[in-house]
Amino acid sequence: MCEGTKPVRVFGHVADDLDTEYWDRDGWVWHDVLVDACVAGVVEALNGRSIYTLASCCGHGGKGGIAILEEDVGQAVGMGYEVGVGPDGWPWAVQV
């Protein structure tokens, strides 16, 4: 179950930048976001290996996931993570 949120530095789309598509890495920057504390370590580990995360949720008692880009699936699996469809339907989500 979720234990609140934790600030994490990620490389990605800034939510208030409406001129950039969230999957277009050309528009991404390093910035701080709040993520569910129970998945913060996984988000940090993925970003630390250049697997940049699009969204994350611990599932709050249900199925959680951390959305990544298709091109990063092999690297995430190589790190030992299971990747599948996320709870929101995103096709490439690290299962948490």
57-80 pLDDT per residue, tens: 998 888 889 999 999 999 999 999
Of the chain, the end-to-end C-alpha distance in Å amounts to 11
pTM: 0.84
**Choice between 3 and 34, residue whose per-residue pLDDT is larger:** 34
Which phi and psi (to 5°) does residue 65 adopt? -170, 160
pLDDT band at 94 (very low <50, low <70, confident <90, very high): very high
One-letter amino acid at 21 equals E
Q: What pLDDT is recorded for position 68?
A: 92
Which phi and psi (to 5°) does residue 66 adopt? -125, 110
